[in-house]
Structure 1
Amino acid sequence: MIIKLRQTITLIFLLCINISFAVSDSLVFNGGTALVGEIKKMEKGVLEIDIPYGDENFKIKWQSIKEIYTKSQFLVSADGKVIYGRLESISDGKVKIFDESETYLICNLSDIVYLAQLKDGFDNRFTATLEAGFNLFKARDMQQFSLRSSAGYHEDKWSVNATYNIIRSSQNETESIKRTDGLLDYKRLLFKNWFGILTISTLSNTEQLIDIRANSQLGVGNYIYSSNKAYLILKIGINNNLERFSNIDESFNSWEGSLSTELNLYAVDGLELSFNYMGYSGLTEKGRYRADLNLDLKYDLPLDLFIRAGFVFNYDNQPAINSVQTDYVFRTGIGWEW
C-alpha cells in the first residue's frame, strides 16, 4: 500500500512538473528522485536529457534509471529488434513500447540498447569529432603531428560515417614519415541484428612504400552481442584492392575476401575501449594475406572534450619490393566531439 501510494505521488509530481515546464519526458531513479525534461538519446549506457533549468544536456547512467515515461516517439533498439514508439514503465525494471493503439514490446529496461528521439532536425542526427596531437623533441629537432577526425549522419534504418586521419613526423638527417588514411562507410539495417555494409577506404604510408591503397568493400554484418554496456560485431564480405607503390610505376588491382570483428566496451563511466580487426585473404592473388588492427582507449572530459590513446597495426605478407611487412603507430591526443 505504501509503495503504491509513493508511486502515485511520484506520478502526480511528474505530471505537475510536465505541465509547468511544458516538457514531455519523465525519469525516476533507483533512489526515488524524479527528473523531467526532453530525452534526446541513450547510447553506450548513457542517457542524455535536456532539462528546463540547464544550459547543457544532462547525462545519466542508464542502469541508474528505475522508470521512464515519454510523450514523444523514439527509435528503440531492444531485444534484437528496432521499434518505433513511446516508452512507459509498467513495473520495476519493466517497460512497454507502444503507440496509441498497439503495444509492440514489453521488455526489461536493461534490454534497451539504443534510444533516439524521432526528430527530423539535422542536429539530432549528425555527430562529429576532432582530435589533435603534437610532440616536439630537442634531439635531431624531431617533430610529430597527428590529426584524427570523423563525421556521421544517422537515419532510422541507415547511417553513413566518414573518418580522415593524418600523421606527419620529421627530424634532421632522416626522411620524413607520412601516413594518411580515410574511410567512408554506409550501413543499412536489413532485419533483426543483420545489416548491409558498403565501405571505401584509402591508405597512404611511406613506411610500406604505399602511394595509395584504395579498398572498396561490400558485405553483411551481424551484432553477435549487443547491450548498453558493450557490443560485438562480425562482418564478412568481398573487397577490391587497388594499389600503387612509390617504387613501382604500374598499379595493381586484385580481389579479396574479408572478415572483420569490432568490439566496443563502455561499462565504466566516461571510459570507452574499442577494438577493430580486419583480415583480407587473396582471391585473385593466391597466398596473399593482409590485416589491419585498431585499438583505442578514450576518456570523456567535461565540455564535450576527451583524451584518447590509440594503436594501429598493418600487416602484409607480400609487401612492395624493398618494403616491410609490418607498420604500427601509437598516438595520443585531446579532442572535441559534437
Structure 2
Amino acid sequence: MSSLLVLGIESSCDETGVALVRAEGEGVPTLLAHALHTQVAMHADYGGVVPELASRDHIRRVIPLANEVLAQSGTALEAIDMVAFTRGPGLAGALLVGAGLACALGAALDKPVLGVHHLEGHLLSPFLSADPPEFPFIALLVSGGHTQLMRVDGVGRYELLGETIDDAAGEAFDKSAKLLGLGYPGGPALARLAEFGDPEGFKLPRPLLHSGNLDFSFAGLKTAVLTHAKRMESAPCDQQRADLAASTQAAIVEVLVKKSLNALKNSGLKRLVVAGGVGANARLRDDLNAACAARGVRVHYPELHLCTDNGAMIALAGAMRMQAGIEAPSRQYAFDVKPRWPLDQLPLAA
C-alpha cells in the first residue's frame, strides 16, 4: 500500500475530535495533526451528558476542528485519501453528526469512507504513543461503560477473555463520585479527592476478585459506597469523604490489576496494553507498572491526551484496518450508525 492520508472524525459522546494520520506500507501510521473539543463545561451544569446538547455542539465544532487539523498539517482538503468516522457505539444523534460530515466530504471529494468501531479505536490508540506495543498482547479496555480483557493477536484478531456483567469500572468511578457529591466528570474528581484520603479507610468489596474467571462486576461496590455515603450525611466530614474516595479507587484498581495479571498468566504473554479513559488514572498506572515490572511484563498506554475520546484513534484504526486488508472503504454514502455495537460483531481478520 502506498502512502495514505486518513482524516478521522470522532463524535460518539461528549468530545468532538478530528485528526489526520499518514499510513505508509505496513508501518504504524503517523499522527500528523489532531484537534479536540470537550463538552465537559457545558454538561457540568446538568451533572452528566445531555444527548441533544451534545449533538448540537458537535455540529458547531466539527467543521472548525477539521479546518484546524488541515491547517496544522499543511494539507489541502483534496489531498485526503479516505475519511474514517466513528460509526458506534455511542449516542445516536452525536454519531450521526460525524457520520454525516464524513460521508458529505467523501461524496464531495469522491473519496471512500470507513465507519470505525469506537472501542477498536481505543484498543489501538497506544500504537500512537512513544512506546508502541507489538502483537500479540493482552488488552485491558476500560472506557466509559466498557470494561473488557482481550487477547489481541493483530488488527481485527481479538478474543474476548472477560467483561463486566453490570457496571463497568468507569461507571463505578462516576457513580461513586456522584454519591460523594462530586462534580462532573466524576472519575477525575474522585481521583483528585482520593489523593487526600486513606485507601484503607473503608472496607469495601472487591466483586468477583476470586471468581476464577476474568469477568468484572462493580455494581456491588457502588452499593457499598452508597451505604457509607448515607451514613456520613448526618455528620459530613471532609476527611471521611476523602477516605471513602481513596478506598473506592483502591477497590476498583485492585480488581483491574489482579484480573489483568490473571489474564497474562493464563495466556503466557508478557505484554499488556491499557486503553480507554480510565487508563489515565494515576493509581491504576502506578499499581500496574509495579505489578508488571515484578513479573517481567511490558505495559503500554496511550499518551495521556489520547486516553479520552479523540479523532486520532479513529483515523488510526481506519488506517490500520486498511493496512491489514480487513475491510475496504466504501463510496456508498448512504450511511447509518450503530449506537449499540458489540466489538465481536465487527468484521474481523480471517
TM range (shorter): under 0.3
The TM-score normalised by the length of structure 2 is 0.26
Task: Answer with 1 or 2: which has the greater Rg.
Answer: 1
TM-score normalised by L of structure 1: 0.27
Work out which structure has the larger RCO, using CA pairs closer than 8 Å and 6 or more positions apart in sequence: 2
Structure in which a larger fraction of residues adopt helix: 2
